[in-house]
A = this chain, B = another copy of it.
Amino acid sequence: MKRRIGILTAGGDCPGLNAAIRGVARAAYETFDAEIIGILDGYRGLIEGEFRLMRKQDFSGILTLGGTILGSSRRPFREMRLLGDDNVDKVAAMKKTYEDLKLDCLVTLGGNGTHKTANLLSEEGLNVIGLPKTIDNDIYGTDFTFGFHTACEIATDVIDRLHTTAASHGRVIVVEIMGNKAGWLTLYSGMAGGADAILLPEIPYDIEKVAEVMESRARNNKAFSIIAVAEGAMDKKEAKLKRKEREAARKDAGFHGIAYRIAEQLQELAGVEARAVVPGHIQRGGTPCAYDRVLSTQFGVHAADLIKKDKYGYTVALVGNEIVHNKLSEVAGISKLVPEDHQMVDLARNIGISFGD
């Protein structure tokens, strides 16, 4: 059995991409006669026909490496428009590259946007397998995506470091965690870092309720607090607006990030000294943690197994402890958000963590 496999990584980079690529490659080389072609810079490489013939040794020593050896789209915002007006031509270009390269299948590593396109290509008749990477953990059908736990470890380490400053100065520190629509990373790292309040996109907050948390802590002689806020969090009034209205209102108010706004508001409302910290991209860089290396490898090997069985149109997933696969068509276009009554949310409330609601 011989298979010519194209592989690409799209969207924002994330720890574990190389580990997953290595997993696909090692299992493919080990279990059948595989030829692997690296498509460069995500779908851009597929559209423009930029690629690299991979050799066995190219996958050596990359397990621990952050980022992606294949590059990701330089201008990912363009990809967002993939399904827009010039869609037809781009899809045609991708199909052409696929055919020119005589690929038997295409493995795409990415998040929700990537899965949408993967599904589109699958519907066009290409043999596609998706691998769910994202530090946001918002891909439907999998308990965890790879990259998420590494981002959790980094964000938790950040909160740990802020704790000593907050405690020494009796300050409130508002730390902005990545996550525009989904609050998973804020929820997990807020729990792990011992945050006093956790503000998620899914649970709009009331700033006065947040201020009360600070005041209640102050009454118990705790002069400092840590607030973990997702970058996409919004207050209850904003939550009622449409996205464009909200953005316009924020622009008018000179908005420069949710953490800064909350810190300012708390200084006024609670009379505390508050600081904002926005660790940003460091949450998605560097070597994957052990958990993500194992998960990425599992995902990669499962993808190779699907190829071996000629099963296409799926994306790999973790359900409980099992590695499984879901239909791309059932996953694409759906974001997995934090349900308001999620077990972890209840649990956080039970130990006195406020969601500001």
User: Which residues of A pack against B, CB within 8 Å?
Assistant: 9, 12-13, 17, 23, 26-27, 30-31, 41, 60, 63-68, 71-76, 143, 149, 152-158, 160-165, 167-171, 173, 188-189, 191-194, 222-223, 256, 273, 275-282, 284-287, 289-291, 293-294, 297-298, 301, 304-305, 319-323, 343-344, 347, 350-352
Contacts and interface: CB of A to CB of B under 8 A. Distances in A.
A93 to B, nearest CB: 21
Nearest to A321: B143
Contacts of A13: 164-165, 168-169
Given A301-B347, A320-B320, A286 B160 contact: yes
A289 B151 CA distance: 12
Residue among A12, A158, A298 having the largest count of chain B Cβ atoms under 10 Å = A158
A17 to B, nearest CB: 8
B319 A320 contact: yes
Contacts of A280: 275-279
A192 B293 contact: yes
13 contacts: A13-B168, A41-B170, A67-B168, A75-B273, A149-B290, A152-B291, A153-B153, A156-B289, A160-B286, A162-B281, A164-B286, A297-B347, A321-B343
B285 A165 contact: yes
A68 B63 CA distance: 19
A290 B164 contact: no
